[in-house]
Amino acid sequence: EMSEISERSKQNVAHGLAWSYYVGYLKIVLPRLKKSMEEFSRAHPNLLACSKTWKLHILFPLSCHVCDDLEKADSNIQYVTDLTETTLTKAGIKKRVYKHSLYAIRDEENQLWHCAVESASPLQTLYAMSQDECAAFSREERLEQAKLFYRTLEEILKGSKECADAYRLIAYEEPEEAETHFLSREILWHLRQEHHEEIAVLEGNHLHTPSTTLDSAELNLQISVSDQPQPLRTDGF
């Protein structure tokens, strides 16, 4: 009976996507990311001066509209290069390649901030399901699943020792009216936070700065953590 309820409410969709994304991708690439960033930093010491930014910054647009070309989405985001590739044999695929792209984010003062950034690809699945009649996936259900996907992945990663301090989840709601540099501002906020965190650690201080972007606390308010099925909410987000 609980299985049927879960199927009808599609609660298993986001949960399955989060675990698949973690086991099939993040658990493979994140433990190797620090080494790649360290190698790049040694070759280009001025680009990655802040070690706190040596993470994979994962974008979570809650609309599930994943942009394939970040440079086209925001002209303040510029592709720089790819980090060292990881090559593995997986599921019968010989020499499967995993790699990350390094970008330069231009701020209001024309200063460049460098980081590895990409979107959470399973969000494309959620969006495709909402466009396919066979999935019977409404826009409201897509929003709830996007939030649940974020929450589930966050909990998985928090318990992963291999991936500790190798990622930054950036969840955001896109503005109703198009803003030219909205995405770069979102990324910059997190890069600045990481920079301040490093300074605070070096100086022995504790940083208390409220977030201007969506965090897990806000997502907690929107998603029931009860084991019992709850009605979907679409308000206030």
Instruction: Walk along the chain (237 residues) and give the pLDDT tens digit of each residue.
Output: 444 544 455 557 889 999 999 999 999 999 999 889 999 988 888 888 788 899 999 999 999 999 999 999 999 999 999 998 888 888 888 888 999 999 999 999 999 999 999 999 999 999 988 887 776 678 888 898 999 999 999 999 999 999 999 999 999 998 877 788 999 999 999 999 998 887 776 666 554 444 445 555 556 544 434 333 333 333 333
pLDDT at 205: 58
3-state secondary structure (DSSP) of residue 135: coil
Q: What's residue 227's pLDDT?
A: 38
The pLDDT, as a whole number, for residue 55 is 95
Contact 173, 237 (CB under 8 A): yes
Task: Report residue 210 as tokens.
Answer: 């409220």
Using N-to-C axis directions, what is the helix angle for 2-9 and 11-21, rounded to 10°? 80
Q: Three-state SS for 171?
A: strand
* Structure confidence at residue 76 (pLDDT): 97
Q: List residues bridging with 171 in a β-sheet.
A: 60, 214
Among candidate residues 77, 80, 82, the one with its CA nearest the CA of residue 106: 77
The token duo for 127 is 């969006």
pLDDT of residue 3: 45
Secondary structure (3-state) at 213: coil
State the amino acid at position 192 in one-letter form.
R
In the CATH scheme, what is the code of domain 8-43+53-201? 3.40.50.12100
